[in-house]
Structure 1
């Protein structure tokens, strides 16, 4: 595993672990908060309900007090009190009920069928005796009772809280109650809101953790790309240095061949010719041998000069790229049936040595490929100078080739790859188009590259 990947994992794993622990802790805290909130809401709701019941009971007592305090115990005053108590109505589920201390229901505005019945032995769903419990509390002065009773608005059994108060002289006790099943809906709504808040918090934790991971990953990717660009820049610089070193060595060999070996051969040729001139006419055999030597020296001299020009043509440094390309075509096609021409378009300007060298080598490689494979009868070299840079086009009318197959074949296309690498070293681009009868090699060097190498 690479060191960079290890560093990224070392940064990401603690981030994931810490994010997960934060999420778990947050979830547990939310659950604890939900339990506390539910208990608090239930307690507050019950306390509020009990306060309302005390208020309603006090209101009923204030209504009955004028009748009760008269001291009368006859049926007429009691019936009047029952009617006033039955009229104290506060909603579909808010009413007063009236019993005597024997457990007989005297008045029930919502369930008249219970009137006249002794309900002390009536059980609720939980097996409790609510009427008996309320009667016992009324004997001690009153209080609250929790039980389950039929809810008039829904006809369902629901939890209820009742508050009872005695009227001892009349052997009565009455009460009222509120149904507290709404608290479950309130708690459910609060729990749902809290769950939504928890989910939102979890999403934020996930987004923050994901953002952190993306930041780490993006930083690692940026570093990788940065190092890759630096490596590419170093490789490009190394390629340029290699090409420059090669060209310098070629130039050195060219000068050595031109100034050293070539001059030596010229001297030997002159000495041989001078020796031939001093021989007597009758030395025909010696004269013939020296003549053959002179011919061999002339051929060797021509070959050395050709090698010198191919390594580094003098015209490339003295007269420029156009003249060097003309000399190159003349040397390569002088003794063949192929017609080669060089065309210059635009106003020529001086090019940096690196660009001239690369374009010359690209042309040399392209012409060599044409000579070996194209079977062309016509070759046109076009050098275009413009404000956008310089463009070199090498076109022939040969048999053509499959560019994709050549470029992707492991053992073919070496020349094309060399041309592309050379152009990449000067920020240029290579284009190749080929079909039978027309193959075009384009070498495009933009103005920015020309200016950069000119100022280097």
Structure 2
């Protein structure tokens, strides 16, 4: 695994884990706060309900006591009047009062009550026996709150109910009423739903922040990678240029050594042998036998061959015309030399006047032309090769076109043992921010190498004679 990927993972994983832990903690804390709020709301509601019920029941008990204290009727009539008044008392939509005597029997008739569809807790029926027992037991204990479930008059559904009961000492009655708690449950349900929505919204924000953090970290990694890649590409390009420059300098040094050293020795040796040959020709014969000059002739012939080969190698390493007269002249000489002793006709197209060519550009294009012409003559079995050079103020383009048999570009490049020359040509051109293209078919191969001039012309020393007179090109 790459170091940069490890650093990105080391940065993203802790952030992701921290955000997940933050989300879990936030959810836990929010739920805890929601539960606390729910308990507080429920306690507040129940306290208000309890206070409200106590007031209602005390009001009913005081009403009964005032009726009982009046002396204008018999006790039975007063009790009937009290039962009628209590039956007609109501509050809210579903609020009513109930009365039990000292034996636990219902005293209020549901049909006479102000609230319709009332079902009282009758101890004589199976459905109301348990609730009636709770109410009577609480009243005997001094009164208080009673919780049970009962049918709500307005909806006829079973709902939780909070009742409050008190004793009426004057007749030993039990009076009470109740409030249904379904509205409290709905309020608590809304609180729970609101808490869940808040938790979900908070988690979405946390996940969005996490995603943004991941994107920022990934973007920073990508930018860093691109920046490093760009810097590495620039360094590699400079290194390639230095390598090529070093190769050219070494070739120039070897060419100078061959020309100034070995060639001079061979030339002086040739002069000495020629002098000896002339002296032998004009020497008087001894004993009537003329001296044999065959060995000297063979030595001179071998020496001429050695001089020709060394000059060819010296010019191939670093042609003097490239430094003296410029790229067009060197390409013209290359075309002329490749035509000698071969079946391939190499032509160099005339080149128009243009601005000076940088030394690095001229060297790279010359090497590309050298390799391309050599491949056309050696591997493509071409009969005709055209080398042309197009120069304008912004770029210079070298085109090598042959009529050979062509080749499969992809297969040659995929073969590790072949295509080295093509890769070298491409690398030379791309190292100078140029473009290299090659197309091949049965009709021939076309190589185009283009280099920019506007960016490099001021950074490199141009060849002293880059402009070429077309009259120098071989016919």
Structure 2 length as normaliser, TM-score?
0.82
Query: Within 1, Cα distance between the matches of 2:395 and 2:409?
Result: 26
Matched, 1:438 2:439: no
Shift of 1:22: 2.9
Matched, 1:130 2:134: yes
Query: Within 1, Cα distance between the matches of 2:63 and 2:403?
Result: 121
Q: How many residues get paired? A: 452
Q: Which residue of 2 aligns with 1:355?
A: 361
Query: Within 2, Cα distance between the matches of 1:62 and 1:454?
Result: 115
CA distance 1:300–1:91, shift in 2 (3 Å)? same
CA distance 1:101–1:343, shift in 2 (3 Å)? farther
CA distance 1:126–1:452, shift in 2 (3 Å)? farther
Shift of 1:224: 4.4
Q: Which runs of 5+ in 2 are unaligned?
A: 463-475
CA distance 1:62–1:324, shift in 2 (3 Å)? farther
Shift of 1:325: 0.7
Shift of 1:441: 0.8
Matched, 1:317 2:317: no
Q: Which residue of 2 aligns with 1:373?
A: 379
Shift of 1:48: 2.3
Q: Which residue of 1 aligns with 2:246?
A: 245
* 2:260 aligned counterpart, secondary structure: helix
Q: Which residue of 1 aligns with 2:471?
A: none
CA distance 1:271–1:281, shift in 2 (3 Å)? same
Q: Which residue of 2 aligns with 1:94?
A: 95
Q: What does the per-residue CA deviation read over 1:175-218, in whole Å, with 9 as the maximum and x for residues that have no partner?
A: 32111133333323322322232233333334434444454455
Matches within 5 A, 1:101-180: 101-107=102-108, 108=110, 109=113, 119=123, 129-133=133-137, 135-136=139-140, 140=142, 143-164=144-165, 167-169=168-170, 172-180=173-181
61-70 vs 192-201, which deviates more? 61-70
Q: Which residue of 2 aligns with 1:271?
A: 272
Query: Within 1, Cα distance between the matches of 2:117 and 2:194?
Result: 42
Mapped contact 1:427–1:449 kept (Cα < 8 A): no
Query: Within 2, Cα distance between the matches of 1:386 and 1:69?
Result: 126
Match for residue 402 of structure 2 among 359, 384, 396: 396
CA distance 1:114–1:400, shift in 2 (3 Å)? closer
Query: Within 2, Cα distance between the matches of 1:128 and 1:23?
Result: 50
* 2:386 aligned counterpart, secondary structure: strand
Matches within 5 A, 1:29-428: 29-57=29-57, 70-74=70-74, 82-107=83-108, 108=110, 109=113, 119=123, 129-133=133-137, 135-136=139-140, 140=142, 143-164=144-165, 167-169=168-170, 172-279=173-280, 280=282, 285-344=291-350, 347-428=353-434
CA distance 1:154–1:337, shift in 2 (3 Å)? same
Shift of 1:247: 0.2
Query: Within 2, Cα distance between the matches of 1:20 and 1:348?
Result: 67
Query: Within 2, Cα distance between the matches of 1:325 and 1:55?
Result: 117
Q: What does the per-residue CA deviation read over 1:299-330, in whole Å, with 9 as the maximum and x for residues that have no partner?
A: 22222222121111111112111111111111
308-317 vs 227-236, which deviates more? 227-236
Structure 1 outlier segments of 4+, above 6 Å: 61-66, 111-115, 120-123, 125-128
Query: Within 1, Cα distance between the matches of 2:131 and 2:445?
Result: 104
CA distance 1:69–1:446, shift in 2 (3 Å)? farther
CA distance 1:55–1:323, shift in 2 (3 Å)? farther
Query: Within 1, Cα distance between the matches of 2:183 and 2:117?
Result: 25
Matched, 1:25 2:25: yes
CA distance 1:56–1:447, shift in 2 (3 Å)? farther
Q: What does the per-residue CA deviation read over 1:61-87, in whole Å, with 9 as the maximum and x for residues that have no partner?
A: 788788666544556666565555444
Query: Within 1, Cα distance between the matches of 2:194 and 2:299?
Result: 110
Mapped contact 2:131–2:148 kept (Cα < 8 A): no
Query: Within 1, Cα distance between the matches of 2:100 and 2:176?
Result: 9
* 2:382 aligned counterpart, secondary structure: coil
Query: Within 1, Cα distance between the matches of 2:21 and 2:129?
Result: 45
306-315 vs 220-229, which deviates more? 220-229
27-36 vs 104-113, which deviates more? 104-113
Structure 1 length as normaliser, TM-score?
0.85
